[in-house]
Amino acid sequence: MDNWLKTSVLMAAIVALFMVIGGMIGGKSGMLMALLFGGAMNVWAWWNSDQMVLRMYNAQEVDAQSAPEFYGLVAELAQRAGLPMPRVYVIREEQPNAFATGRDPQHAAVAATAGIMRMLDYRELRGVMAHELAHVQHRDTLLSTVSATMAGAISALANFAMWFGGRDENGEPVGLLPRLAVGLLAPLAASLIQMAISRSREFEADRGGAAISGDPLALASALQKIEYYAQGIAMPTAQAHPETAQMMIINPLSGEGLAGLFRTHPETAERIARLHDIARGVG
C-alpha cells in the first residue's frame, strides 16, 4: 500500500508540473490542456511504460532455448521468491547493468546487459537478478517506470516552452527569462520527485535480494565489480534518456555535470557495507 501511495503522489506532482508548463505556454487554457494531457499520459504510462523502456534500450527477449543458463537462473530465483516467472530480456550494451520493469508481478520483466553477463560470475549475476526480483516483489517497478516516462515527457514539454514560448492568460507573449526558468527548472523538479523515493528503494531491494538468493555477499561482490567497470564504459541510451537512470542497479551515467549533482542511487560503498552486515546477521 505504501508504494501505491507513493505512486499516486508522484503522478499528482508530475501532473502539477504539466499544468505549470501549460500555463506558461497558453495561460489558463494551456493549464487545462496540460492537465488533460498529463492525466492521459499517466494512464498511458500505467499500461505501456514498461514496453516503451524496453524498446528504448532495444532489449531482446530470451527464453529457455536462446539463453538457457540466464533464463534458468531467473526461473530459480522467481520460484524462491514466490513470484510468477517474469519475461527475461538481454540488452546489447557493454556497460554492466540491469533493471526490472512492469506494472505488477504478473506483468514483470527483468533485463540485463550483455556486459554484466560477461563480467560477473554465475553467483554474482544471481545476486543481481535477485535484487531485481526484489523490486518486482516490492512493486517498485511500476513506480520507477512510470516516473521515468513522465520525467521524459516533462523535459520534452519544458524544452518546447523554453524555445517556442507562448502567451499568458492576458494574451501577452511570455518573456525569455520565465521561459528559461521553466525550461531549466521543470526537468530538475521532475528528477527531484524521482530521487525522493528512489534511494531508499535500492537499500530495500538489496535486502530483499539477499533474502531471495540466500547469498548477500554475492550481491556485494557484484556491486563492487559493476561500480568499477561502469565508470569506464558509457551507456549511450542512458545518456540520451537520463530519466531512466534510476531504474538501473547502478547509476549508468558518467556523473559529469548536472548528472553528478543529483544522485539517483545510494553510495555503492554503503550498500556493500549493509550487505556485509546482513551476511554477519547484523541489522
- Per annotation, catalytic residue among 132, 202, 227, 243: 132
Amino acid, res. 4: W
Kindly report the backbone phi and psi dihedral angles of residue 80, in degrees, each rounded to the nearest multiple of 5, phi listed first.
-65, -35
Which residue type sits at 185? L
| Nine-digit cell string for 143 | 513506480
> Catalytic: 256?
no
The cell numbers describing 113, all together, are 546487459
| Dihedral over alpha carbons 203, 204, 207, 211 (to 10 degrees) | -160
Q: b vs e for 182-192, b when ≥16 Cβ sit within 10 Å of the residue's Cβ?
A: bbeebbebbbe
Q: What grid cell was written down for 198?
A: 528512489
Alpha-carbon gap, residue 43 to 146, rounded angstroms? 10
For 27, other C-beta atoms within 10 Å of its C-beta total 18
**Element (H or E) spanning 259, and its range?**
helix 258-261
Active site residues per annotation = 132
